[in-house]
């Protein structure tokens, strides 16, 4: 079966996006060696390098997926659907977060309006591309094109479980980067620094990676642990956001982390916390719902 035009266009867009990601990674690392009038925030180099490496990995995966799309490989269709889901969620989350940030007081209303429109375009384009991919790769013609080139058995893992598993894996990896950048840990109103924070992040990373791998293997204990882990963070987020003393401690830690930025970042911490909490509740509730809804897929692996 011939390759649909939408699939070819998607592969081209993925290649262009991968090239842009590589260029962005190079510029990020290069900025560490540029002379600036403002000093770099402390301990920023490991964080920048780690972030650049993540983007390089994403770019390589993008190139690899694009080749698979050109060859109509079924795994490539699954990969781009997973990526589209993350891209859509990440774009809308970042857009809402950015819109919650107030403009500097010395900025004119016209300039502030232009800046916000620019932000909407910057984050709106990836969101629209993600929606396009989610629709394109779920059409009957596209499914038939990829089905005609199946070279092996189809995966038994539901797409929603794959997305949740990858979210856990990415969360675990982000904990490892938090260790490298020496980010303080905040847990139920208490902040931790140094090796204590590293131990906490290491435990979080181990649990998240274990759950992610277990979900991909359709292991029942991983599903149960994933539901419990989601519930744990839902309780933590609720307490930190809704209990005034804990909320204030969170703001104090955020201000301490932002005070080294010059000029200071004009975050409205209260609005930002409320938006973050609302989106977190939605995503955790959706994850728990899919984990319960797809429990039948795990039945055959309970005793393996």
pLDDT, one tens digit for every residue, the chain (304 residues): 578 888 899 989 988 888 888 888 787 777 666 655 555 555 556 666 666 777 787 788 888 888 888 888 888 888 898 888 888 888 887 777 777 666 666 677 777 778 778 888 888 888 899 999 999 998 888 888 888 765 555 556 787 888 888 889 888 888 887 787 778 888 887 888 888 988 999 999 999 999 999 998 889 999 999 999 999 999 988 888 888 888 888 877 777 765 654 444 445 566 667 777 777 888 889 899 999 998 888 865 544 4
Q: Which among 159, 165, 303, 164 has a CA at the least distance from the CA of 221?
A: 303
Burial of 121 (C-beta count, 10 Å sphere; 0-12/13-18/19+): exposed
Distance of CA 104 to the CA centre of its chain: 28
Our CA angle for 46, 125, 17, nearest 5°, is 55
- Give whole-number Cα distances, 89 to 86, 167, 178, in Å: 5, 11, 22
Residue 137 burial (CB count, 10 A): 23
Q: What is residue 65's predicted lDDT score, i.e. its pLDDT?
A: 87
Structure tokens that stand for 267 in this block: 């975050």
Q: What is residue 85's predicted lDDT score, i.e. its pLDDT?
A: 85
Q: Cβ(205)–Cβ(176) under 8 Å?
A: yes
List all residues 6 or more positions away from 114 whose beta carbon is below 8 Å from its beta carbon. Answer: none
Domain parsing of the chain, residue ranges: 1-154, 158-304
Give the whole-angstrom CA distance, residue 40 versus residue 37.
9
Q: What is residue 36's predicted lDDT score, i.e. its pLDDT?
A: 56
Give the whole-angstrom CA distance, residue 68 versus residue 149.
11
Q: What is residue 32's predicted lDDT score, i.e. its pLDDT?
A: 62
Q: Please name the residue that has the structure tokens 């770019």.
A: 59
Q: What is residue 203's predicted lDDT score, i.e. its pLDDT?
A: 93
The separation between the first and the last C-alpha atoms of the chain, rounded to the nearest angstrom, is 39
Q: Cβ(149)–Cβ(74) under 8 Å?
A: yes
Q: What is residue 209's predicted lDDT score, i.e. its pLDDT?
A: 92
Q: Cβ(100)–Cβ(272) under 8 Å?
A: yes
Give the whole-angstrom CA distance, residue 288 versus residue 304.
23
Instruction: Concatenate the DSSP letters of all residues of 96-132 into one string.
Output: HHHHHSPPPTTS-HHHHHHHHHHHHHHHHHHHHHHHH
């Amino acid at each position: 079966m011939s390759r649909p035009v939408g699939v070819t266009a998607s592969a081209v867009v993925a290649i262009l996006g991968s090239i842009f990601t590589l260029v962005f990674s190079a510029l990020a690392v290069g900025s560490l060696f540029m002379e600036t009038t403002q000093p770099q925030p402390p301990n920023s180099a490991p964080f920048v390098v780690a972030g650049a490496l993540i983007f390089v990995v994403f770019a390589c995966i993008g190139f690899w997926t694009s080749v698979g799309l050109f060859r109509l490989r079924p795994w490539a269709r699954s990969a781009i659907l997973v990526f589209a889901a993350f891209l859509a969620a990440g774009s809308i989350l970042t857009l809402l977060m950015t819109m919650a940030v107030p403009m500097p007081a010395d900025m004119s209303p016209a300039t502030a309006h232009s800046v916000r429109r620019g932000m909407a375009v910057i984050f709106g384009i990836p969101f629209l591309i993600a929606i396009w991919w989610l629709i394109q790769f779920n059409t009957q013609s596209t499914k038939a094109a990829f089905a005609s080139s199946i070279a092996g058995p189809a995966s038994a893992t539901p797409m929603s479980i794959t997305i949740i598993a990858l979210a856990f894996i990415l969360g675990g990896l982000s904990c490892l980067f938090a260790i490298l950048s020496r980010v303080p840990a905040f847990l139920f109103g208490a902040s931790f620094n140094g090796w204590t924070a590293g131990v906490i992040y290491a435990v979080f990373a181990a649990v998240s990676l274990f759950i992610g791998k277990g979900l991909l293997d359709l292991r029942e204990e991983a599903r149960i642990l994933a539901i419990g882990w989601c519930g744990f963070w839902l309780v933590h987020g609720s307490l930190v956001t809704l209990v005034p003393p804990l909320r204030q401690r969170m703001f104090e830690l955020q201000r301490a982390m932002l005070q080294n930025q010059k000029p200071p970042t004009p975050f409205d911490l209260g609005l930002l916390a409320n938006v973050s909490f609302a989106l977190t509740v939605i995503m955790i509730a959706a994850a728990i719902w899919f984990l319960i809804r797809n429990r039948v897929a795990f039945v055959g692996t309970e005793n393996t």
